[in-house]
Amino acid sequence: MEKDLVVAQKIKSAPQRSKLILGAIVIVAVAVAAILVVLSSQSSISDGAFDYSQIPQGRRDDGGFVLGDPAAPITIVAFEDFLCSHCQRYKSTVDELISQYVAKGMARFEYRFTPVVDPAYSRLSAQLAECADTLRPGAFWNAHDRLFELASARRFNDSSARNFAEMMDMSYADLLECTRDAAQVDIDSQYATRLEVRGTPTVFYQIGEGMPQLTPYSNQPNIEQLGTLIAQFN
């Protein structure tokens, strides 16, 4: 009788053990998936948002940095500061713009340095971006992503230039030497003044070689508004 009772208890507890084992497997699987997602997102950040080598790159006559097909009918022009928290949040919109429209030849994206947050470090971050391209032609847009990543993750300070050099796998000494003569930030600042830019980010659009115009939406149009604007000229 006791044996029958023990057997019955074992049979009864078997499904419970199975449920516990299954639950443990599910928990482990979820944990592993979460870790993989984190690692994947870190990798995508460290590798940059895009393979910029697959998108045409250029500079305006005054040195302004432009991304996208020169034949695109419209250029979205953004006046930004890497240290600006609003610009850091707007970066996701810029990424969507590049992915959905610039990479497909429907628009170009032009970045203009507009140092407004900190007199020294905003200027330095702009010079580092320019110098990355000077020392390694074609590196500007990866530098653009790295500087936003760096400024978003921590406060920009005296060690940030060295951190940037490590992120870009470039010589810290060469970057600092280059910043002594890097003047694109001054050209862009003067341009911003002529267009009466009063804050960052401020987004304009330009058709051909005409004068940039503020978008009909706001200084920070969302991706749907940018898409509507771009569609008018494609």
pLDDT tier, 58 (very low <50, low <70, confident <90, very high otherwise): very high
pLDDT in tens, 189-211: 999 999 999 999 999 999 999 99
From the centroid of its chain, how far is CA 61? 25
Closest CA to 45 of 122, 126, 150: 150
Average pLDDT over residues 68-81: 98
Does residue 204 sit in helix, strand or coil?
A: strand
> DSSP string spanning 95-147?
HHHIIIIITTTS-EEEEEE---S-TTHHHHHHHHHHHHHHHSTT-HHHHHHHH
When comparing pLDDT for 4 and 42, which is higher? 4
Residue 67, phi then psi, degrees to nearest 5: -120, 130
At residue 16, the pLDDT reads 53
Instruction: Average the pLDDT over each of 16-25, 71-80, 104-113 and give the range with the smallest value.
Output: 16-25
How far is residue 89's CA from residue 221's CA, in Å, rounded to a whole number? 12
Higher pLDDT, 49 or 140: 140
The three-class DSSP label of residue 75 is strand
pLDDT higher than threshold 80 for residue 175: yes
Per-residue pLDDT at 49: 61
The burial class, CB within 10 Å (0-12 / 13-18 / 19+), for 73 is middle
HEC letters along 168-200? HCCCHHHHHHHHCCCCHHHHHHHHHHHCCCCCC
pTM: 0.79
User: What are residue 79's DSSP bridge partners?
Assistant: 112, 202
pLDDT digits (tens, 9 = 90+) for 135-157: 999 999 999 999 999 999 988 99
Average pLDDT score, the chain? 85
Using alpha carbons only, give the angle 144, 134, 115 rounded to the nearest 5 degrees. Answer: 45
Residue 125: what pLDDT? 98
**Which stretch of 94-108, 119-133, 145-159 has the lowest confidence by average pLDDT?**
145-159
**CA R_g for the chain:** 25
103-113 pLDDT, tens digit each: 999 999 999 99
Residues 44-52: contacts with CB under 8 Å, at least 24 apart: 45/149, 46/167, 48/141, 48/142, 48/145, 48/146, 49/95, 49/98, 49/145, 50/95, 50/98, 50/99, 50/103, 50/141, 52/138, 52/141, 52/142
Look at residue 185 and tell me whether its pLDDT is greater than 70: yes
Residue 123 banded pLDDT, cuts 50, 70, 90: very high
CA distance 124 to 126: 5
Q: Which helix (H) or strand (E) holds 76?
A: strand 74-80
Please check the confidence at residue 46 and state whether its pLDDT lies above 70.
no
Compute CA 28 distance to the chain's CA centroid, rounded to the nearest angstrom.
Answer: 33
